[in-house]
Amino acid sequence: MRAEVKAAARVVVGCAVAGALGGVVWGLLAPAEHLLVVTENRGAALTGESAHQFDAIAIFVCIAAFLGLISAVASWQWRSMRGPLLFLGLLIGSAIGASIMAGVGEGVAKLRFPHVDSPVVDTVIAIAPGIGTLLTLIVQPLVASFVILVIASVNPLDDLGTGRPRHAPDEADGTRADGEAAIT
């Protein structure tokens, strides 16, 4: 049991690190929205620039889905630790990783496109991209859960290939570990 908890903790840390790297990638890839300053503190989006809000969210979702897929497949490869604790670590780690990805990514994007104080009228400024909605944070844990569901459901082995020995029959209730009645 203790080894499974350590394994789940390692998966959480791995997902967090992967989320930070994904955030850096997203912060570098996400496009800024360019605005024309029409009056003080008011801007008008240039033609086609408002689509960059969607582009930034779509790039974030694609990176999160990729990280969910990769983290699920990587954790499944840890054959001896497969089970509910490892899945819980994957689920929690994916949620934390997605949150870290959003924070790091928005930080990198703000470094790329700094806020302009008191822009001059009739100039074009760039606004740093954002994730838009917190619903995007559910993508990575959702994809990771779905991938584990598919992999576990197509696995033909009852123990998911962990190789753990079956438990001895329980003498108290007269049943074996597989649920069959013990013959006495």
- Scored b (16 or more CB within 10 A) or e, 73-89 reads eebbeeeebbeebbbeb
pLDDT tens sequence across 168-180: 555 555 555 555 6
- Taking the C-alpha atoms of residue 113 and residue 120, their distance in angstroms, rounded to an integer, is 17
Whole-prediction pTM value?
0.81
3-state secondary structure of 155: coil
Rounded average pLDDT over 114-118: 84
Token pair for 134? 């917190």
3-state secondary structure of 171: coil
How many other β-carbons are positioned within 10 Å of the β-carbon of residue 46? 13
Q: Judge whether residue 32 has pLDDT over 60.
A: yes
pLDDT tens sequence across 121-145: 888 888 889 998 999 999 999 999 9
Closest listed residue to residue 94, CA positions, set 143, 25, 141: 141
Q: Give strand pairing partners of 44.
A: 36
In this prediction, residue 176 carries a pLDDT of 55
